[in-house]
Chain A
Amino acid sequence: MIDYIYLTILFPLAGFLINGLFGSKIKNEKIIGIIGSSAVGLSFLFTILSFIQLLNLPIDERTRVVELFTWLNVAGLNIKFAYLVDQLSIVMSLIVTGVGFLIHVYSIGYMHGDKGFWRFFAYLNLFIFAMMNLILGDNFLVLFLGWEGVGLCSYLLIGFYYDRKFEKGTVPEAAKKAFIVNRIGDFGFLLGMFLIYQTFDSLNFLEVFSKAEYFPISETTFSFIALFLFIGATGKSAQIPLYVWLPDAMAGPTPVSALIHAATMVTAGVYMVARASIIFASAPAIMTLVAVIGLLTAFFAATIGLVQTDIKKVLAYSTVSQLGYMFLAAGVGAFGAAIFHVMTHAFFKALLFLGAGSVIHAMHEQQDIRNYGNLKKYMPVTYLTFIIAAFAIAGVPGLSGFFSKDEILWYSYSKGNLTFWIIGALTAVITAFYMFRLVSLTFFGKERFGKDVHPHESPKVMTIPLIVLAFLSIVGGYVGIPEIFSGEGGNALKNWFKPIFAPAEAKLRTFGSHSHFEELLLMGISVAAALSAIYFAYVVYTRKKEIADKTASSVKGLYNTLLNKYYVDEIYESSVIKPILIISEKVLWKVTDNKLIDGIVNGSAKLIYYISIIIRKMQTGVAQFYALIMMIGISVALFWLILTL
């Protein structure tokens, strides 16, 4: 099956082509939906089969390269269009196609009646196609192809409702923002790629990584490569300072937010860092930077999430925050934990977004949680699944989020230091609090919506994916039970990833051992804090709303700062965008373009004009005169002939 892995990429492409080219002719939503979903479903099926085959192979044979064709062969640069199937890429593929399939099915219900139904499915399939290229690519260039492809799909899907308003601007503006901010990151990624090619003379993963492991290459070089790659990752995965696009990406349809801006595309940065783990591991300074950036992002995004009132905005900041966790894990060297969190996060965050979509759908596009309340009465399935996801993200023991988050927190202490752990745990507490603020305001308390709104449960085609994802959110964590519970070598996922991350971990060489007691203690503290935060949020936002209002008014300055997201957008506006606009207008346009470039162009034209006024007198229009000139020329030529005889 592995040899046919390209089929998993061809199916979504075929779906995209069918829906994209003929979608407007088909018109029947059912057929379009089935084509779109089954393309991804088949892709999922093939991924599972490949996964099973990989599982049955001996451990040291679990890296397979599937070559399709030679893409570029220019002056020593030989790039093959090939796919790399190994433990890491197959897990990511499973997540992308599996969650992607569920979201496709969900979208059939959610997008029902939309005039761009076929366009939506075409874009989604194109996205899956690009994402699979990103994951399975066997070299940096194929990865970059997917990287840009998902960026494009993200842009297209954020701008899906291109005729609507979004917050202070319009939807296309939000889409453009996402695209441009991503470009900044991509620029860094490109530089990193160039540097890799210069250093290793190859872009092929296996070649680069084996050279990185054994060749004597200076740490500075590694640092620059890792830094540039990380800049790319901050763009794609919405980390400080390039996270600003993700909240605005919520302008897209909710399934898109679930698929692209929560479960899959934004984790591409984490995947890339994990893929290039050996390079990062060779640059300890950048590793610390990754961890710190991840931690800061996690913390700040979580605090912003505390006060947001738009249901999708809360989830968006929560996503940014969780991505920060993943980078924290990668930064301290726990790449496996990062990918583990990618997986569990994909389950519960997709579920949260889909649940939010279900609520928004029921409430007629109302997204302000202050206008919800007591929805559990009307939407039992959505309520149940949503709360499971909320428990999972809050880190309640037994659910998937607990395992992955706890693993990250533990590594942030054991491989990092106590400060990392404290901020990380604090973030976990805040996460639990704002998630249950959201849950309480949405599903509990009094009904705060108008009499004319009649919430209803969503159709089966939407609730079934919710149930499946809820199931996965519960059991998804059991592939990575911590070793204190499962014994030495009992963490199945860790063992699975071992061959991939072993070189990087060997290079990092963390000394010192930590006792089981420490681990249990820290786990206990964070869990207890999270649970009390959940209870506190539930009480405050269902029964004693005045506490929240009072706190908000007593720290008005802080509250407004959080509500305005630390004014980061405004700071960027005044520090980056305004200067660029001013320089563009005052200098580049009015001086460089108008005076310099136009001056050169017009000046040369004028020069020729004045010369022509003199020279055109030669053009008498009398043919005989021209013939005379020609004869003079012939005479001169004859002179030359005579002289050379």
Chain B
Amino acid sequence: MQVPIEYYLILSAFMFSVGVAGVLIRRNAIIILMSIELMLNSANLALITFSSFMGNSIGQIFAFFVMTVAAAEAAIGLAIVIAIFRNKLTVNIDQINLFKW
């Protein structure tokens, strides 16, 4: 292991922050979903890093579960996007304000 653990973790933190920024600033619902995938991947990276450096496979198993959840989330999220698009003819979340009072 020539590369220090901090490097991996910094990459993970960076990707997470980029994902956060994407969720916060983009209006296209599909890109927001992609940003969420970015955040999940950064979490996976952190989990696998720790798993590798600690020499047991639990972190990797967790990453595996995260992938499962991510797949489910992507499927459902995209289905919702399709359903909304069918009703509103847009995926711009500024125009999808169902929460508004």
Contact = CB atoms under 8 A, between A and B. Distances in A.
Interface of A: 616, 619-624, 626-628, 631
B23 A621 contact: no
Contacts of A627: 23-24
Interface in B44-99: 93-94, 97-99
A621 B97 CA distance: 5
A624 B99 CA distance: 11
Overall SS of chain A's interface: helix
Interface of B: 20, 23-25, 93-94, 97-101
A618 to B, nearest CB: 10
B14 to A, nearest CB: 15
Main secondary structure of the interface of B (DSSP, over half): loop
A624 B100 CA distance: 12
Contact of A623 (B20, B25, B99, B101): B99
B100 A621 contact: yes
A628 B23 CA distance: 9
B23 A624 contact: yes
B44 to A, nearest CB: 19
A621 B25 CA distance: 16
A619 B23 contact: no
A621 B93 CA distance: 10
Task: List 10 A-B pairs, minimum CB-CB distance, nearest first.
Answer: A621-B100, A621-B99, A621-B97, A619-B101, A628-B24, A616-B101, A627-B23, A624-B24, A631-B20, A627-B24
Nearest to A620: B100
> Among the interface residues B23, B93, B98, which one has the most CB atoms of the partner chain A within 10 A?
B23
Contacts of B99: 619-623, 626
A444 to B, nearest CB: 89
Contacts of A624: 23-25, 93
Contacts of B94: 622
B22 to A, nearest CB: 11
Contacts of B101: 616, 619, 621
A495 to B, nearest CB: 87
A628 B26 CA distance: 12
24 contacts: A619-B100, A619-B101, A620-B97, A620-B99, A620-B100, A621-B97, A621-B98, A621-B99, A621-B101, A622-B94, A622-B97, A622-B99, A622-B100, A623-B93, A623-B99, A624-B23, A624-B24, A624-B25, A624-B93, A626-B99, A627-B23, A627-B24, A628-B24, A631-B24
Given A622-B93, A624-B23, 18 more contacts: A616-B101, A619-B99, A619-B101, A620-B97, A620-B100, A621-B97, A621-B98, A621-B99, A621-B101, A622-B94, A622-B97, A622-B99, A622-B100, A624-B25, A627-B23, A627-B24, A631-B20, A631-B24
